Structure 1
Amino acid sequence: MGSALIKGLHRSGKHTVTACDLDPDALESVADYVDHTTSDVSEASAADVVIVAVKPDIVGAVLSDLDLSPDQTLLSIAAGVSTDYVEARTDANVVRIMPNLAAETGDMAAAVTADGVTDEVRELLDDVGEFAEIDEAKMDIATAVNGSGPAFVFYLIQAMADAGVEGGLEEDDAETLAAQTFKGAAETVLRSEQSVDELIDAVCSPNGTTIEGMEVLWDSDADADVAAAVAAAEERSEELAAEFGSEDDE
């Protein structure tokens, strides 16, 4: 996720980015997309915004090495790690975010805790996609929708592409058509003032091809199965948060 954000910010051309990691291979993998690489965490003290993109179990150790001031902002993307936990370990303004890998292409969907968000953070997130400001209590469901969601969409794209191949399309052509259709439909939802139901109606001509396919979906459990996948991801996010909280209390 860290490298995806780096590549997305580089793509925007609006930011000076320094990558910090103790792993030289990790730094080498993003060297072409940053202005500077370092293994010296103290260099973070010179940044306006510091992004902590590490596994939850090492957040505490990383924060203990950071010496940040109140006029800096720290963005945490560690799943299950509360804002309270981070705030207790830094003087910086803390904002928790849950982005996704599409940040790399500027198409990220991110959830961000409403408390502490600054215009500077909004501008940064705008440069790599779309975001929604939410209450922190809703971060588990947001993690399921936009954090885990790309995998669910990849699954559906593959299902549509496979159907195209079965119908005679070449594999590459079917994948292109299915993926671009999802991309175009998603963009339409974001830009249109119509509801999703209204957009479906707009595509479904009476006695046409689309309405025949939609009748199959409406009669199926597809919507319930998607909801179940989201619920399972949300439950796991809650479990991870509880596990992290238990470790912190020990």
Structure 2
Amino acid sequence: MMDVSVIGCGNMGGALITGLSDAGGYRITAYDVDPDAFESIEAYADRTTTDLDDVRDSEVVVLAVKPDIVPLVLEDLDLRAEQTLVTIAAGVSTDVVASETDATVVRVMPNLAARTRNMAAAVAWEAPDENVERMLGDLGEFVVIDENLMDVATALNGSGPAFVFYLVGAMQKRAVEEGLDAEKARVLAAQTFKGAAETILRSEESIEDLIDAVCSPGGTTIEGMDVLWDSDVEQEVGDALSAARRRSAELAEEAEK
């Protein structure tokens, strides 16, 4: 059993706790200053606490708080060199965190799909950490990147689920307007995204080739794709990602002041 503590039981911290509990093999301590935060995760944690001393002996401590709260937690968090501190705060660099702790610091950008163990995560580290590798592998897929690309990853896989939710919602809404039941449209739209994503991950074909595989000459799909190709939707989606990346960079500048 690996001892893991999660500091901060909000949406992302709760998703990590839920996913690790489902994976099994973890003894999970959940910390938050607000006892009400435990309501949604109490069934998944082995222990809940409002005392920061209770997290200090864990092999891995996950810092899952908002960027502006990170310095406040680090002031009172005393970890040893043999421990690992995983930070998931957007815009807060490894150097900023490492200057306040003796623990090995690993920076990760996860997303909410950790809850269902379908997470996409980016990790930046000086050397691979076996415990973190195991955790990320149990929660989904991860890639290793240079830390100077973490703002892009924050926008892509960190903010990306919200962009996908928006697109699923748009497809559902129009299907309802065309006559489908709302719940059935939701299932079909969501499962379509899930299946398409799985197809990409399992295929070596390019995105363009996969689109062509669905499009028959004179068929329904190419009729719809013509609308997309003639629109600015690709630019708008890209602009949304760039806006999120810029905000991550701004948060980094604020954290270093």
TM over 0.5: yes
After TM superposition, give the deviation of residue 116 of structure 1 in Å.
Answer: 3.7
Which one of the candidate residues 199, 208, 222 is aligned to 2:219? 208
Asked whether 1:73 is paired with 2:80, we answer: no
Q: How many residue pairs align between the two structures?
A: 246
SS at match of 1:130: strand
Other-structure match for 2:14:
3
Q: Structure 1 length normalisation: TM-score? A: 0.94
Equivalence for 1:99: 110
Unaligned runs of 5+ in 2: 1-11
Equivalent in the alignment of 1:237: 248
Compared CA separation, residues 168 and 28, structure 1 to 2 (3 A): closer
The alpha carbon displacement at 1:98 in A equals: 1.0
Letter of the structure 2 residue corresponding to residue 168 of structure 1? G
Once residues 229 and 125 of structure 2 are traced to their aligned partners in structure 1, the CA distance between those partners, rounded to angstroms, is: 36
Q: Which amino acid aligns with 1:4?
A: A
Q: Distance in 2 between matches of 1:207 and 1:137?
A: 46
Shift in Å, 1:138: 0.6
Q: Report how far residue 85 of structure 1 moved.
A: 0.8
Residue 168 (structure 1) aligned with residue 179 (structure 2)? yes
| 1:1-250 to 2 correspondences below 5 Å | 1-246=12-257
In structure 1, the partner of 2:8 is: none
Distance 1:61 1:151 in 2: 28
Q: Please state whether the residue corresponding to 2:168 is helix, strand or coil.
A: helix
- Aligned equivalents of 1:37, 1:158: Cα separation in 2: 35
> Aligned with 1:112: secondary structure?
strand
1:48-97 CA-partner distances (Å, limit 9, x unpaired): 11001111122122112122111111100111111001111111110011
8 A Cα contact 1:95 1:117, kept in partner: no
CA distance in 1, matches of 2:40, 2:127: 31
1:44 and 1:68 in contact (8 A); partners too: no
Q: What's the CA shift for 1:44? A: 2.2
| Distance (Å, rounded) in 2 between the aligned partners of 1:107 and 1:9 | 12
Q: TM-score, normalised by structure 2?
A: 0.92
Instruction: Tell me the SS of whatever aligns to 2:90.
Output: coil
Q: Percent identical across equivalent pairs? A: 60
Paired residue secondary structure (1:70) = coil
Check whether the contact 2:79–2:103 (CA below 8 A) recurs between aligned residues: yes
Deviates further, 180-189 or 54-63:
54-63
Measure how far apart 1:28 and its partner are. 3.5
Determine the C-alpha separation between the residues in 2 that align with 1:49 and 1:131.
18
1:102 CA drift (Å): 1.1
What CA distance in whole angstroms lies between the structure 1 residues aligned with 2:59 and 2:66?
22
- The 10-residue stretch of structure 1 (206-215 or 36-45) with the greater mean CA deviation from structure 2: 36-45
Alpha-carbon RMSD: 1.2
- Relative to structure 2, which stretch is displaced further, 116-125 or 83-92? 116-125
Pairwise CA distance, 1:15: 1.1
Secondary structure of the residue aligned to 1:16 is strand
**Cα shift at 1:35:** 0.9
Unmatched 5+ residue regions in structure 1? none
Question: Partners of 2:125 and 2:51 in 1: how far apart?
Answer: 31
SS at match of 1:202: helix
Q: Would you say the 8 A contact 1:94–1:116 is kept in 2?
A: no
